[in-house]
Structure formats: structure tokens, C-alpha cells
Structure 1
Amino acid sequence: MSEAPDPSGMTLTARIREASNATFLAELDGHEVVYKPIAGEKPLWDFPDGTLAGREYSAFLVSEAFGWRVVPPTWLGTGPLGLGMVQRWQDVDPEQDAVDVVPTDEAEASGMKTVLEAIDEHDRPVTLVHEDTAALRRMAVFDVVVNNADRKGGHVLAMPDGHRHGVDHGLTFHVEHKLRTVLWGWVDEPLDADELAGLERVTTALHGDLGEQLTEHLTVDEIDNLEARCAALAAVGRFPPPAGYGPAVPWPLF
């Protein structure tokens, strides 16, 4: 499935009930896909423009411009319930946890980055941690650029080969700062050469095909702010700390 197939041949196989909006598993050309029809989207007062499907597809386009494959293959097409987002299903490795909650006294020994400490439902101290890998660092950079308001732990897919995919990008590209993520472990650490080069690729692409494609799904202000976030992050050259008045992490965390 290197090219986007015609979704008209899609067969729905199950509904994902945990999702906030209508989300289905389906089969398409012998592959499993996730299908989110626009008709099943619930209106959001703080994301009034465009569609969640359009934002998900826009996130894929930016991911492709980075060259890091953060977002799995994604496209827009008309399935059994109308136009929507279609994304290639990913079989994760159940033995790998890129993001986890561990007892606080085990956090340091885990070798993972600490995000926050809390008390669980049994009044035991626990710590939210995530791995310290190049793949996850790239996802964190991507999230800053697209202004991801919903990077839950469950939205990080640990692949068997060590790659990490990010999914569920409907709450992205807002003009106001809305970054909410579980990937805060690198605050104030410098970006490396690969990460800075990725920012440059996106900035260049915004003045070409990427910028043109995004105009179909995002407002002019949203695209301008996307470019501004690239420039600001490259200028500072470090992972940013939480900012603004909203929560720094999504809820629930997973």
C-alpha cells in the first residue's frame, strides 16, 4: 500500500468504541486500516475550522516533509460512511513500552526520562516516564511544530523494529499555544543536527508543495503559525518547556 488506494472498496470490520469520534477498523485491498468519517466528528468549539480528518491528513503531510515517518501512511477518501481519514493500521510490539507509568522508586533504574510524579489510586507514588531514543525525540519535535494538543501515551506506537509512530492528530495546528504531551523528558536539551535539518526541510516545503496542500485543510493563519513555530524552535535550538495557562499534559495520560 505505497500509494493511496480507492477507499470505495473498504469493508468495515469493527468500531473502536473508546474513540471520542466515530472510528472504525476496516479492510482495504488486503490491509487493515483505521477509518474516521467526517460525518462522525463531534464539533469542537476550540477547533471550529476545517475538519479533524483534514488536520490528521495535514499532520501526515508535515511528517512526510520532516522525512521521519512519524505518522503512518494516511490519506483522505470516501468510504462506506462518506469522506474521512484513512490510515494504515500498525501492529505494535506488546513487549515494548515507549511511555509508561512505573513505581517512583523504580523510575531511575528504568533508564527512562522522567516527566512527572503522582499518586495512584492506591496512594502509591508513581512516575510517568518515556524512553530516551532518537525516534521519540523526533516525535517530540514534530509535536511542537504541529502544536499537538493531545499526545497521550497510547498515541505512541512502539514498533518491533524500534521505530515509533504517532497517531490521533485531530487536535493540531491551532494558532494558540496548545501543546499537551507526555513527551517532556528533554526540556531545555539542545536539538541535534538531524532535528534541526528536519525543521529546515519543513520550512522549505512550506514554500512549495506542502504549503499548497495544507491550504485545502488549514487556515492561512494556521499555516503561518506552523512556519513561525518551525522558525522559533530552530532559533532557540532546544526542546521547549511547558508554556501558557493550560495543562501541559493531556488527560487521561493514556
Structure 2
Amino acid sequence: MGGQDGFHGGELTVIGRISTASNVTLVCDVDGAAETPLRVVYKPVRGERPLWDFPDGTLAGREVASYLVSDALGWGVIPETILRDGPYGPGMVQRWVEAVDNHTDQGDRLDLVDLCPPGAVPDGFREVLRALDPSGNEVSLIHADDPRLQRMAVLDVLLNNADRKGGHALEGVDGQVYGVDHGICLHTEHKLRTVLWGWAGQPICDGLMADVTAFAKALPGPIADTLARHITDAEIDALAERTQELLDHPVMPVPRTARPIPWPAF
């Protein structure tokens, strides 16, 4: 997929930095055989801020491992992600997602994850919780009741995603829904923190569970061998256990910690 456009080996040229990111996150163009440079996100390992509860390996490695799980499931939730060298050393490189702009001169449209007045949840959305905005007004945190987003929510359960913020769910101009920022996933202990709780306690559809079943059968072989380059054996075993738990009880989990939603939520 990446050979002709230089994704794996083309020179990275930094064109900007995402200043809101916790770790150094650079936007780059990749020079390759294609006439138009490929845009990517590059997170050098040297720019990572150490986390006390994720001591094993790098956050970049976890991003790559998360992509490998998404890819093995056949879901394409996470854009192609690799570990390669760049201008600031080795790091995660991920294909850029061209996202839909819901806020234009022609009017605003709700994002996949958004806020609305309490009691005014629009059709096609699910309420997650009610809270106070910075001005002290009550608002509802909502997300789209969209099968593309629900697939991401199931993936987060498998990945044990500790940081699914609203801004990490992107609606691409190609009609797909993508998840980004998976640096704190795949821990052995329960860490699930997400804004996608709207399906909590509800059965997972047969189509998604068929993919999870196939993944569970394939995981102990080449998939585990590939993951072992990025996460520990204990973390791979924990992934297998979470997968089996979902097969045994194909229902979206309910929050079980005091902090089930990341902060900030966007």
C-alpha cells in the first residue's frame, strides 16, 4: 500500500506542529514516487512524555500495535500506521485523515461527538452524560448512533483504550470514520476511558462479533508475532483475554471505574 507513495521510505518534510497534543506531534509531507506528496502525522519517540502507568515500550509502538489489531479485524478504523525513521529519529508515522468540516459558512452540523442542551438530544444521537460547561451551563455530552462509530467503540474495548476523546473520532471525506491517538492502549490492567458509552449494556451485532471471532482464532499465530515487536507478551495475553471475554459476553461494557471518561473529553 505504501511502496509507491513513499510512505515507508520517502523523506519526511515537517510542515507544522499540532500544538494541542500532549506529545510532540508533527504534520509532514512524504516525498515519494507520487506526483502529490503524501501527508502524514509523525510522532518521534524522543518527543514522548513518559507515563508512570505505561512503562513498557514506547507510545509509538502502542500506536502501531493498535493499528495492527484494527487491520487484523478488517475494520480499517485506524489509518495505516508504521514505525519508521524521521527527521527527529524513529517514531510513529500515520496517514493523514482529511476530515469533514462540519462548521462552514453554510451552517453548522453536529460532530460525531458533540455537546447539546440537556433534553434536546437530536435524532441519530445518544446521550452519554450531563455536565456543566465552563460558563456553568448544563450540557449533554452526545455521540452519533452510527454503526461506523460503534465499530470504533468495540475496538476500544479490545484495545483497552485509556483515552478515546471526542476529537479522536474523525469523519473522513471518504465516508469512513477513523480513530487516531492510540498511544495509551493495550495495558494489562483495565484502563478503558472513552466518550463512546452510548451503547453501554447493549448487545454487539452479529457482524462485528463474527470479525472478533475470526480475530480470536488468528491472534495466537502471526498476529501475536507481529504485535510482539511493539508490546509485551503479558499485554498480548491480556488482549487475548479481553477478546475472549467479549466472545463469552457479546455486550458493550458499562463503566466500572470512577473516571470512565478522559479529561478533557475533547
1:76 to 83, 87, 94: 83
Q: CA–CA distance in 2 between the matches of 1:91 and 1:248?
A: 29
Mapped to 2, the partners of 1:7 and 1:101 lie a distance apart of: 41
Match of 2:67 in 1: 60
Match of 1:206?
Answer: 219
Whole-Å Cα distance in 2 between the matches of residues 201 and 155 of structure 1?
27
Partner of 2:120: 106
Matches of residues 176-215 of structure 1 in structure 2 within 5 Å? 176-215=189-228
Q: Distance in 1 between matches of 2:131 and 2:88?
A: 42
Find the partner of 2:242 among 215, 223, 229: 229
Give 1:237 deviation, angstroms: 1.1
What RMSD over aligned residues (CA atoms) do the two structures have, in Å?
A: 1.4
The aligned residue for residue 25 of structure 2 is 23
Normalising by the residue count of structure 1, what TM-score does the alignment of the two structures yield? 0.95
1-structure distance, mates of 2:46, 2:114: 34
Report the CA distance between 1:161 and its aligned residue.
4.1
Question: 8 Å contact 1:38–1:53 — kept in the other structure?
Answer: yes
- What letter is aligned with 2:125? M
Of 32, 44, 53 in structure 1, the residue corresponding to residue 39 of structure 2 is 32
Code of the aligned partner of 2:255:
P
Deviation at 1:249, TM superposition (A): 0.3
Separation of aligned partners in 2, 1:5 and 1:91: 16
- What CA distance in whole angstroms lies between the structure 2 residues aligned with 1:201 and 1:82? 36
What is the count of residue pairs matched by the alignment? 252
Structure 1: give runs of 5+ residues left out of the alignment.
Answer: none
Give yes or no for the alignment of 1:249 onto 2:261.
yes
TM-score (norm 2): 0.91
Equivalents in 2 of 1:209, 1:8: separation in Å?
27
Question: Once the 2 structures are TM-superposed, how far is the Cα of residue 16 of structure 1 from its aligned partner?
Answer: 1.4
Please tell me whether the aligned partners of residues 7 and 38 of structure 2 are also in contact (alpha carbons under 8 angstroms): no
| Letter in structure 2 aligned against 1:253 | A
Deviates more, 1:97-106 or 1:147-156: 97-106
User: Contact 1:138–1:195 at 8 Å: present in 2 too?
Assistant: yes
Do the aligned residues in 2 keep the contact of 1:8 with 1:78 (CA within 8 Å)? no
Q: Is the 8 A contact 1:65 1:201 kept in 2?
A: no
Residue deviations 1:132-160 (CA, integer Å, cap 9, x gap) = 11111100000000000000000000123
SS at match of 1:208: helix
Percent identical residues: 46
Contact kept, 8 Å, 1:23 with 1:37, in 2: the verdict is yes
Find 1:135's aligned residue among 124, 128, 148: 148
**Contact 1:8 / 1:79 at 8 angstroms: preserved in 2?**
no
More helix by share: 1
> 2:16 aligned with 1:14, yes or no?
yes
Q: Deviations over 1:101-153 (max 9, x none)?
A: 1111321x343011001122222221000011111110000000000000000
Kept after mapping to 2: 8 A contact 1:8/1:80: no
Asked if the contact 2:2–2:8 (Cα under 8 Å) also holds between the matched residues in 1, the reply is no
**1:150 corresponds to:** 163
Task: Report the Cα offset of residue 208 of structure 1.
Answer: 1.7
What's the offset of the Cα at 1:46?
Answer: 0.3
Deviation at 1:203, TM superposition (A): 1.2
Q: In 1, distance between residues paired with 2:8 and 2:193?
A: 34
Q: Deviations over 1:171-204 (max 9, x none)?
A: 0000110000000000111111111112112212
